[in-house]
Amino acid sequence: MTDEKIQRLINQEIARQRDGLTLIPSENYASLEVLRAMGTPLSNKYSEGYPGRRYYGGNEIIDEIESLAIERAKRLFGAEHANVQPHSGSQANAAVYLALLKPGDKVLGFDLRSGGHLTHGSPVNFSGQIYSFVYYGVDVKTELIDLAGVAKIARKEKPRLIIVSTTSYSRRLDFEGFAKIAKEVGAYLLGDIAHIAGLVVAGEHPSPFPHCDVVTATTHKTLRGPRGGLLLCKKELAEIIDKAVFPGTQGGPLDNIVAAKAICFAEAMKPEFKAYQHQVILNARAMAKEFIEQGIKIVSGGTDNHLMVLDLTFLGLEARKVQNELEELGIYVNRNAIPGDQRPPFNPSGLRLGSPAITTRGLKEKEARIVAGLVAKFLKNPADKKIKNEIKKAVSRLVKEFSIYEDFKY
Ligand code: DSN
């Protein structure tokens, strides 16, 4: 029996992804091989523990799969130890905190409005409720991380852990500079590279190794694998990190996802993947150039990575409304806070967008500029029906020319 309701909805969602332009910088299109691995009977297995040390029988093959994923992750990132079990980036961060901190310990994290993540100490998140977070942000004028400012806070606060990360920061992270500060104040350094993992392994962004003690990542953003988390660390932390994942914060791993992670790591070792990441950067730059030429303000004035945040305060537009209206035109972006945002998180002043998904579709700089031009056109003429129709038609043309998941049906 087929569940027709769910089948119809899945096919509608596949069509939405196929027929629209995804500019949400944390979303991507995984390969069919990655997707296939996720839909296998591996999902039926329980395998609490680690390869060779499981609590349930029947794990001989799962052990081989997880060992392969671990070896590939270590090789790909040049890491001494890898744990491929975290269900998500948030879970990976939770495990790091459990391993390295006690409740109430002080942590220096990146402010959410400047580009940090919920799990880096937001008061509405477990991290902000259990640990004592203090924050660094970006310089008000340059909108860049000011390392001297970070060092000043670190010296005053003496945190046990410092987090260097980005979810909406469009510039390079100086892992080496942060490591110097962490060393000086005796703190651990966590690099959360969820967004930039693909850029890092392709050499398009400096590596967090050997500077960070622990690195967390997700496998589905620029890395373009299955939805999931990943934890990498120095050898001496391996035991406490593994214990903090299982049994500390999770039960059994998702073995189908672990297999898909192994496939994604192998894909990321290929020359095509390196070329893809290079194009991601070129496309993001081309988009930023177009926005700037159209007079649209980008936080920090541009991008060095795969994303950028448009500052809508100058246009007098509400980001939530813009996000919803662009969605009607087949363009997917997400509203985002900007540094020092005076508006609430549910309706902030910025629009975050980027190039990973359109680059997977095959768009190059010329088309990336066209896409940014469509967004800019809308931002300048939000009430013009004729222009909206033109944008809709242009989106239709682009998604047909650069097709994805063409014959994919559930
Ligand atoms: N939701 C992710 C993002 O979009 O960046 C962060 O967890």
pLDDT in tens, 259-279: 999 999 999 999 999 999 999
Query: How far is 240 from 320, CA to CA, in rounded Å?
Result: 42
Matching residue, tokens 């303000």: 297
pLDDT of residue 113: 86
Cα of 390 to ligand 1 centre, how many Å? 31
Query: What atom of ligand 1 comes closest to residue 119's alpha carbon?
Result: 7
Query: How far is 232 from 252, CA to CA, in rounded Å?
Result: 19
pLDDT tens per residue across span 297-341: 999 999 999 999 999 999 999 999 999 999 999 999 999 999 999
pLDDT of residue 345: 87
**How many Cβ atoms sit within 10 Å of the Cβ of residue 328?**
10
Query: What atom of ligand 1 comes closest to residue 218's alpha carbon?
Result: 7
| Mean local confidence (pLDDT), 50-62 | 98
pLDDT over 80 (residue 289): yes
Find the residues whose C-beta lies inside 6 A of ligand 1.
26, 89, 117, 167
pLDDT of residue 122: 93
Whether 358 and 21 have beta carbons less than 8 Å apart is answered as yes
Whether 328 and 199 have beta carbons less than 8 Å apart is answered as no
Ligand 1, residues 167, 168, 222, 230: which to mutate, most atoms within 8 A of Cβ? 167
- Specify the residue with its C-alpha closest to ligand 1, atom 6: 167
One-letter amino acid at 7 equals Q
pLDDT of residue 260: 99
pLDDT of residue 18: 98
* pLDDT confidence tier of residue 194, bands split at 50, 70 and 90: very high
pLDDT of residue 50: 98
* pLDDT confidence tier of residue 244, bands split at 50, 70 and 90: very high
Please give the share of the chain, as a percent, with pLDDT higher than 70: 100
pLDDT of residue 93: 98
* pLDDT confidence tier of residue 1, bands split at 50, 70 and 90: confident
Mean pLDDT (the chain) is 97
pLDDT of residue 82: 98
- Specify the residue with its C-alpha closest to ligand 1, atom 3: 26
Cα of 372 to ligand 1 centre, how many Å? 21
| Mean local confidence (pLDDT), 101-123 | 94
pLDDT tens per residue across span 377-401: 999 999 999 999 999 999 999 999 9
Q: Could you tell me what percentage of the chain is helix, strand and coil, using 3-state DSSP and rounding each to the nearest 5?
A: 50, 15, 40
Query: What atom of ligand 1 comes closest to residue 24's alpha carbon?
Result: 4
DSSP labels for 366-399? HHHHHHHHHHHHHHH-TT-HHHHHHHHHHHHHHH
pLDDT of residue 294: 97
Determine how β-strand 350-354 pairs with β-strand 307-311. Answer: antiparallel
Cα of 2 to ligand 1 centre, how many Å? 33
pTM more than 0.85: yes
- Specify the residue with its C-alpha closest to ligand 1, atom 1: 26
* pLDDT confidence tier of residue 199, bands split at 50, 70 and 90: very high
* pLDDT confidence tier of residue 28, bands split at 50, 70 and 90: very high
pLDDT tens per residue across span 144-193: 999 999 999 999 999 999 999 989 999 999 999 999 999 999 999 999 99
Give the neighbor-by-neighbor strand order of the sheet with 350-354: 307-311, 350-354, 334-336
Cα of 351 to ligand 1 centre, how many Å? 14
Which residues contact residue 210 at a Cβ distance below 8 angstroms, ignoring those fewer than 6 apart?
A: none
